Every structure is written in C-alpha cells, then in structure tokens.
Amino acid sequence: MEFKNPQEELERFRSRIAFAGGFVLFCFGLLFARFVWLQVIQHDYYRTRAEENRISLVPIVPNRGLIVDRNGVVLARNYSAYTLEITPSKVKNLEETIDELAKILDVQPKDRKRFHKLLAESKNFESLPIRTRLSDEEVAVFIAHRYRFPGVDIKARLFRQYPFGAFASHLLGYIGRVTDRDIEKIEEREVEDNYRGTEHFGKTGLEQHYEFDLHGITGFEQVEVDAGGRAVRTLARTAPVPGNNLALTIDARLQEIAEKAFGDRRGALVAIEPATGGILALVSVPNYDPNLFVDGIDTQSWRELNESPDKPMVNRALNGAYPPGSTFKPFMALGALTLGKRRAEQTISDPGFYNFGGHVFRDDKKGGHGSVDMYKSIVHSCDTYYYMLANDMGIDNISSFMGSIGLGQRTGVDIDGESEGVLPSQEWKKKRFKKPEQQKWYAGETISIGIGQGYNAYTPIQLAQATATVANNGVMFRPHLVRHITDTRSGTQTPVEPQPIRTLPWKQEHIDVIKNAMVGVNKEGTGARAFAGAEYVSAGKTGTAQVFSYKGAEHKTEHMQANLRDHALFIAFAPVDQPKIALAVLVENGGFGAQAAAPIARQIFDYYLLGKVPKSAAPADEQAVEADE
C-alpha cells in the first residue's frame, strides 16, 4: 500500500477528462455523419417521402354519361342528392347508432336491411349509406344532432336515375355498388386509377356493356393533409371529364307502345331496322324498376323480384330460348328453294297428317289443306308440307341453313350475356347428351324440327335478326342498340356504323317467293285479321310454340293451366318493298300467335310507319280467332 501522490492523481484525472472530451467529440461526430447521410446523401429520397406524406390525391368522380333514345329522350340521367352515411370502422356500436338515428330521422326496416347487405359486401373502411335522398329538412335535423354521431355524416352524391322507372329496363340495365367481380373487370382493363373513388358500376344491360364509355375520366384534387388524413388546403385540381353519352337506336315512344301492348302478359319483342341492324325496340316484360338497384337493393325487394313466377329479372329477348313454332316455316321454305329441294310451284297433297315409319304427325287442320304449294304452305301454315320438307332436306341441311341466318348463335348485340339458344343437329346432339343411345339422331326427330318444334329453341332477338335478314334480301347486320357515342367534352359524335355480318347467297326470285307468301299471311292468311285495313303492305308469319307436346292428341287451350298454354309468336316486316322495320314478338303462354302476338306487331307498325298511336294500350283482341294455325 502506497500513499497517493496528489499531483499524479490529478494528472490521471485530467487524462480521463481529456478522454471523455474526445469521446464526446467522437460521438457527436457519429451523429454528424448520420445527419450528413440523411440530409445530404439521402435528401432526395426523404424529401419525396415527406411530399408523399403531405400531399394526398383525392379523386373526383366524374358524372356518368347519359343514355338517350334516338330522339333525345333521356332514359338514364344523374341527379345530386344527400345521403346519410356511416363509416362502420369509426362507429363503436352500429345497431345502437342506427337506433339513435331512427329517433331523429325516418329509417325504414328496408333501409336497415340494405345497409346490412352493403356492410356484408364492403370493406369496412368505406362509408355506407343508411339513408339516401334526404330532404332538406332531414339534412337540417341531422346537422343539428351531428355532434352525437361520430362516424356518421351527410354526403352529397350523384345518383343514377331512370326517369321512367320500370321501362326498357332490360335494355338499359342498371348500376349498383362496385363488387369484387367488378374490380376484377377494372383490373383486367388496367383502369384502376380511373376508378379510384368510383362507387358504382354497370351491372346489366347497356349500363354494363358501355360501362367504360359511360364512366368518364376521374378528376383529382391535390390536397395537403395532416397526419390524421384531414385536408388542410387544396393545392391543385384536375377537373373530371364526364362520361360519354349514349344515343340509342331505340325509339322510346315505340318502346312504350310495344311494352303497353303486352298488357300484363309476359313476353318479348325485338324490332330492328333491317338496313342497319339498329334495334328500334327491345322489350322483355315484365320490367323491373332499375332505380331500386342504384343505392343497393334491399333484401326484401330483391327476393320479391327473384322469386316472382313472372321472372321479371330475366331478359326474355336475349336469354329466353323458345321453339319458333310456325314462324320457322318461311326460313324452311327459303332453305328448300336455295338448296333446290323444292320449287315454289311444286305441290303436295295434304291428307291432314304425315306418316313417317308408322308414326303419325298431325296437321292442325282436320282433313288437311288438300293440294298445297309453297305460297299456301306459308299463308295457311300447313304442317304436313313441312313434315315432308324436313324429311327431304335432312337435319344437317336444315341446321346449316338456319345457322347461316344466325339462329342458334349469339347475335353480338351490345348487351352482355346473350344466350345461344339451340340449333339442333347431329353434332349438337352428340355434344348435348352423354349416353350413346341418346346421342344418336333419329330421322323421326327431323320431322317436328320442320315445323319449329322439337329441340329448336331460339331467342326472340335471333328470330328478329333472321326476319330482318330476309327483309333485307339476305344482307345480315349485327343488331345494335347504340347509334352514336357523344364525347361530352368535345361534343363529337362517334356513330356506331352498321356492321354487316354476311351477305347470304340467295337468289332474289327465291326471296321474293317467301316475301310474297308472308305478305299473303297478312292479307289472306293467319295474320289477316290482325292486319285488316292496314295502309301499308306488310309481311308476317304467325307461330304457336308448344310448351308441352301432346303427341298427336287434340287439346283445348281454355282448359289448360295458363302456364302450360302455348307461346304465341309472330314475325313480320314492313313495308314490303322498302322494309323499315322487322320484328319478332313472343307472348309467353299467349296461345295462338295470330291472336296474341300479331296484333302487337300491328300496333308497332301503325305507330312506326304512320305515327298512329293506339287508343288504348289494351292487350290484343282476344276474340280474333284464326283457328287455322
């Protein structure tokens, strides 16, 4: 143990002080190096990050394009309204909040149901409407109580509106809130940026098919936001560009007359301008009110629509496949002429039935039509003629001819989800059935194909297109609903050019035979009563399609249940020398085509060709019976 030397101790202490000083400078040097790294070397990166923090792009959803008819009548538009919206993530107890809201505002059970449906479908950071279309008073009431409802707010939103309600709904379609499936479509087209902030998407009809035209270009507002996401001020703004307007080939007045002509019956009608393929009216009744879907349909209304036996949600014009019945006959006849299987003047003798291999196929007229040529076979709708003809032509010839005029194929109309129908052929049967014994085509099956029964099943739009093709002397156009698309910014109209699909190699003399016979139908045949006194020359063909087949047995329609009655059909065009309109009408369970369907066509032609508005929109004359079908 040695005594310490104070001076030595002090020196040692001072060296430690010096060390500490050095250590401090070293550590501060480290910090300085860190600052240089952040503020000089990485400065650009962090400056960008700070800007990204600060500036938020808020999308401004564009106004959706309008849909107008060929004369400018607005069929779908937008209006601004207040909605009361809840952001579920910001609300502690949803039910309690809604109960409290119901005390100051009118909240119906269906509003709650719709809210819960939306809630189940949404990501929970969205705000969802509990009430839409608030009145000014309701807005004022809520604002006075707003402090009590964190996470609930009033928003001004644009709503889609279909001013005529349940009218033309199957062609217009509707929009609804964006779902995952819609997002997939948006991503497929790589337009996610343009859909930021968009809450609605076309679900069916034109709204769906032209979604990306109608939508418009989303604008953006550059907003400075704080850490809580609240906007502090606006830095810049890019205005949205409204969606393009659609001008339709549809004549709204004609559409209205057509829909009213059906009364409360179910059915479909497609009227086409033969020279362009432009659709003048596309009816599927009953309609539904597309307005119901805009802010989310409530479960009860949805169930009612879906469970209704009338199936109002089915677009019968495009998705209903029906046997064409006797409206098939003019096409059969044209096929026979084209293929050389018949000459127009060739006659057959009709005893009132056709015996094929021991099986008897009956004609509707007891005792038969006697001697029948092609003209008479169409005018009086002789079945026996076509039983024989079908057998002579064979299924494959029939199939390929009918295929050439578009039957059993999608027409390519500008509405999505069109059905194909069934064009029977040997090949079709092979694909359709699994068991080998069912896959075989039997010659007997060809016979009923000849009168438009059997496996035949076509959509009304296919029948209308085929009729228009005959009217147009074999030049077939793609049916379409949009006449031109208007760019709302520049005002330029882009017309939808008529799209010829093909020109069929028909001889004009053959076409004239068929047209002449169809004129006969409306003059002296099954359509004569419906077209009595018409001031134009029209061509038509009635049809009655069996819902069930009653093999050869006689049956009386009055005694049958309404939904087992036959479907009534009618195809027609007019005026004959320069056809302006061709159509196909179908009345479900309407009975005879002459009685139920032809009068509808008459009203359409009278209005379209003469401007005559029917006195009443009453259903067609039930008394007019032409038993000859």
Partner 1 sequence: MIRNLWLKLIAPIDGPLMAFSGLLLLVALVAVGSASPERMTAQLVNLGVALAVMRVIAQVPPQRLMHMALPVYFFGVLLLIAVALFGDISKGARRWLNLGFMRVQPSELMKIAMPLMLAWYFQKHEALLRLRDYAVAALLLLIPVALIARQPDLGTAILVFSAGFFVIFFAGLPWKVIIGLGVAAAAAAPFAWNLLHDYQRHRILTLLDPEKDPLGKGFHIIQSTIAIGSGGILGKGWGKGTQAQLEFIPERHTDFIFAVYSEEFGLLGNLLLLILYSLLIGRGLMISANAATLFARLLAGAVTLIFFTYAFVNMGMVSGILPVVGVPLPLISYGGTALVTLFLGIGILMSIHKNRMLVQK
Q: Annotated catalytic sites, by residue?
A: 326
- Amino acid (one-letter) located at 458: Y
Nearby residues of 363 by Cβ (< 8 Å), 6 or more positions away = 350, 352, 353, 354, 369, 382, 383, 384
Taking the C-alpha atoms of residue 425 and residue 445, their distance in angstroms, rounded to an integer, is 10
* Smallest gap from residue 227 Cβ to partner 1 (A): 4
Question: Minimum distance from CB of 125 to partner 1 (Å)?
Answer: 13
Rounded CA gap, 256 and 324, in Å?
25
Count Cα atoms within 13 angstroms, Cβ side, for 508.
Answer: 1
Site for partner 1 in 139-158 (CB under 8 A): none
- Least CB distance to partner 1 at residue 234 (A): 14
Residues 524-563, mask of contacts with partner 1 (x by CB under 8 A): ----------------------------------------
Which helix (H) or strand (E) segment holds residue 495: the answer is strand 493-495
Show the CA angle centred on residue 542, arms to residues 541 and 547, nearest 5°: 140
For residues 17 and 239, which CB has a smaller minimum distance to partner 1 in the complex?
17
Cβ of residue 26: shortest distance to partner 1, in angstroms?
10
Of 30-38, 374-382, 468-476, 516-524, the segment contacting partner 1 by CB under 8 A is 30-38
Specify the 3-state DSSP secondary structure of 457.
Answer: strand
E strand spans, 228-302: 231-238, 245-248, 267-272, 279-285
User: In which element (H, E) is residue 494 found?
Assistant: strand 493-495
Smallest separation (angstroms) from partner 1 to the CB of 296? 31
Q: Which is nearer to partner 1, 25 or 144 (CB)?
A: 25
Stretch that binds partner 1, among 21-29, 66-74, 113-121, 567-575 (CB under 8 A): 21-29
Least distance to partner 1 from the beta carbon of 11, Å? 10
Per rule CB under 8 A, is residue 225 in the interface with partner 1? yes
Residues 486-525 contacting partner 1, CB under 8 A: none
Phi, psi of 332 (to 5 degrees): -60, -45
Q: Is 16 in the site for partner 1 (CB under 8 A)?
A: yes
Of 17 and 625, the one with the shorter C-beta distance to partner 1 is 17
Buried b or exposed e, range 375-387, using 16+ CB within 10 angstroms: bbbbbbbbbbbbb
* The only residue of 123, 131, 213, 232 in contact with partner 1, by rule CB under 8 A: 232
Closest to partner 1 by CB, 9 vs 95, is 9
Least Cβ distance, residue 127 to partner 1 (angstroms): 21
Query: What is the pattern of x (binds partner 1, CB under 8 A) and - over residues 173-212?
Result: ----------------------------------------
Closest CB to partner 1 among residues 224, 420: 224
Task: Measure the CA–CA gap between 311 and 496, rounded to whole angstroms.
Answer: 32
Q: Which range of residues in 96-104, 222-230, 332-340, 417-425 is near partner 1 by CB under 8 A?
A: 222-230
User: Taking Cα atoms as reference points, which of 477, 446, 413 lies closest to residue 335?
Assistant: 446
Query: Given candidates 21, 150, 163, 351, which one binds partner 1 under the rule CB under 8 A?
Result: 21
> 45 vs 442, which CB is nearer to partner 1?
45
CA distance 523 to 379: 9
In the bound state with partner 1, the residue whose beta carbon lies nearer, of 224 and 445, is 224
Burial of 60 (0-12, 13-18, 19+ CB in 10 A): middle
* 42/299 with CB nearer partner 1: 42
Whose structure tokens read 């390929």?
Answer: 400
DSSP 326: G
Number of residues that bind partner 1 (CB under 8 A): 40
Least distance in angstroms from the C-beta of 119 to partner 1: 24
Position among 5, 27, 99, 124 found at the interface with partner 1 (CB under 8 A): 27
User: Which residue reads 């050439």 in tokens?
Assistant: 404
Least Å from the CB of residue 147 to partner 1: 23
**Is 12 or 440 the residue whose CB approaches partner 1 more closely?**
12
CA distance 238 to 230: 20
Shortest approach of partner 1 to residue 54 CB, angstroms?
Answer: 5
Burial class (CB within 10 angstroms; exposed 0-12, middle 13-18, buried 19+) of 40: exposed
Minimum distance of partner 1 from residue 151's CB (angstroms): 20
Task: Give the x-and-dash track for 48-67 against partner 1 (CB under 8 A).
Answer: -xxx-xx-------------
CA distances, 498 to each of 252, 270, 321, 466 (Å): 20, 17, 26, 16
Among 99, 226, 524, 535, binds partner 1 (CB under 8 A): 226
- 348-367 burial: b if 16+ Cβ within 10 Å, else e: bebebbbebeeeebbbbbee
* Euclidean distance between CA atoms 128 and 177, whole angstroms: 10
Is residue 228 within the footprint of partner 1 (CB under 8 A)? yes
Choose which of 5, 7, 13, 190 interacts with partner 1 (CB under 8 A): 13
Terminal CA-to-CA distance of the chain, rounded, Å? Answer: 137
Could you say which of 5, 28, 403, 494 contacts partner 1 (CB under 8 A)? 28
Give yes or no for residue 30 binding partner 1 (CB under 8 A): yes
Q: State the sign of the Cα–Cα–Cα–Cα dihedral 551, 557, 560, 562.
A: positive
In this complex, which beta carbon is closest to partner 1, that of residue 24 or of residue 610?
A: 24
The alpha carbon dihedral of 159, 160, 165, 170 has a sign of negative
Residue 20 engages partner 1 in binding (rule: CB under 8 A):
yes
Question: Which parts of 323-352 interact with partner 1 (CB under 8 A)?
Answer: none
**Options 7-15, 170-178, 425-433, 495-503: segment touching partner 1 (CB under 8 A):** 7-15
Burial of 168 (0-12, 13-18, 19+ CB in 10 A): buried
The residues in 31-50 that bind partner 1, with binding defined as CB under 8 A, are 31-32, 34-36, 38-40, 42-43, 45-47, 49-50
When the beta carbons of 29 and 165 are compared against partner 1, the nearer one is: 29
Examine residue 25 and tell whether it contacts partner 1 (CB under 8 A). Answer: yes
Contact flag: residue 24 with partner 1 (CB under 8 A): yes
Say if residues 104 and 78 touch (Cβ distance below 8 Å).
Answer: no
Residues found near partner 1 in the complex (CB under 8 A): 1, 3-4, 9, 12-14, 16-17, 20-21, 24-25, 27-28, 30-32, 34-36, 38-40, 42-43, 45-47, 49-51, 53-54, 224-228, 232
